[in-house]
Chain A
Amino acid sequence: MSDQAQLLPGTVDLLILKALSLGPMHGYGVLLRIAQISQQAILVEQGALYPALFRLLRQGLLKATWGFSENNRRAKFYELTAAGQKRLGEETAGWNRLATAIRLVLVAKPEEV
């Protein structure tokens, strides 16, 4: 699976937050969304999703309600809370800063050092 990006630990949380920012969804759906947005580059180990979801629940970044899926299965739907929204923004900004910094480092020509 060489065309799949290595997942740094802790990024699952961020991906979940992002996925849910597009609207409430159940666990399986979040998985699909992440795969979709990253254009299949990121495939999260399915079961690992749940500890992450619950972690975010405990931190108050998500909230959950029972509902029904498209196939009329009873499922738990997660959505971002205000705090979650805020955290998403912070984390995104942080990632961007990091990415920019790394790109600068990588692009630096020997002469510029």
Chain B
Amino acid sequence: MYVEIVGNSETKTYDDVRNISFAPQTDVIGESLPINEFAVDIYTDDSIRNGADIYLYDDEDNLWAKYWIVYAERMDEYFVRVRAQSKLVLLNRIKLPATMYDGDTASTVIAGIFNPLTVEGTDTQPVILDSSEYSVDSSLASETITGYCPEQTARERLLWVCFVIGAYVKTYFTDVIEIAPLDDTDVFVPLEQTYWKPAVSYADYVTDVSVTYFSFELDDPTSPSGSRDQIWYDGNYYNVTRTTISLANSHAPVTAPTNIVSISDVMIINEDNANDILLRMAQYYFDRVQVDLDAINNAEFMPGQKLTIYTDQESMVSGYAERCYFSFGLQAKSSIRLAGAAEVASGKLIILYKYGTKQIGKKKYLFPVGHQYSIENPYIDAQFNKHRYVFRPENQYATGTVTSGTNTNTQQCAVALDLEKKTEILYIVSVDDADAIVVEE
């Protein structure tokens, strides 16, 4: 791993680093908006200042984080301890006025949230965050916002907007602040990347979820309604109507104590989006499984992804990753927390390797039902009729889709090498445009 620091229009690379602390997290249900950060000791005698942009890379030059330095302290003549945070933290400093939205697009609303940071710079107010440093996914940009936001910090307003449109904020493995949709696509964590052994626990049953949605009607000043539930905005009173909808957890036993999760004060929840929000909350809170696992993770798995993981060699669960705490060697390992997870149906896959009718090898796997696999077939060193050979697979990959129960896939092999003679030849007959070699024995 290494870092780059941009200061005074100059980018400098620091290879000698130690004690990297990086634990990105996100909140997939939108209850909070975590500010991600990393810390690192840098071996240098340079003076490193707050406010500079700092990039964290791995040895394959993949970007892990782009943050800005909030703390730099020289520990001794050799090392400087640096802590950097996502610029999302700047939204805490901005107070936005109360606003009534009426069908404004999410991209417009979010631009308004970031606007105080992205205005043209002057000598006394430099640009802190360039407008290219945040993005709204195209699938979310045209979602509409209707309702009322009171005076609040920009961070709290962004939290409300993300909650309503079903987005989460991603500030890791990217150089921008991404407002992204939750992706239902399962990302599979293989057995050979999962450490022994994931810890599974169960949250208390949530018996119900409920959502309150709002509508606002301008009060006639010539004939006031006298309602006690009003807001004052832009010189007018608006009558507020609150309606609560709820959903019971059909999986909760009748003996489970009442445990209701409710959202009742987000005033940009309206009749159009309330049901979607309710279903999203139900999907998260009604699934009780929580898993903590360690995985070999070279930036393949990250918070906000829906991961399917093994809890042991026979069972699997699927849920959203909420945090990944990294530790580093040559590769990287992360401790991952899955929340709102559920057990998934799985099927066994057995790949049989045969030479003619004789079985010379076997491999067993467990995959989720519906998983499309493509497993590279190995060369096999085996005995046949008391004679040792190396067998090569006739197909490079075994492919298929896993169904429930046991799935068997037979792969034929041919002789590649007679180990008793130790000579066997491949004669190249052609090389295709992609430089793939076509061989003939």
**A, B in one complex:** no
> Measuring CB to CB, which residues of chain A are less than 8 angstroms from any residue of chain B?
none
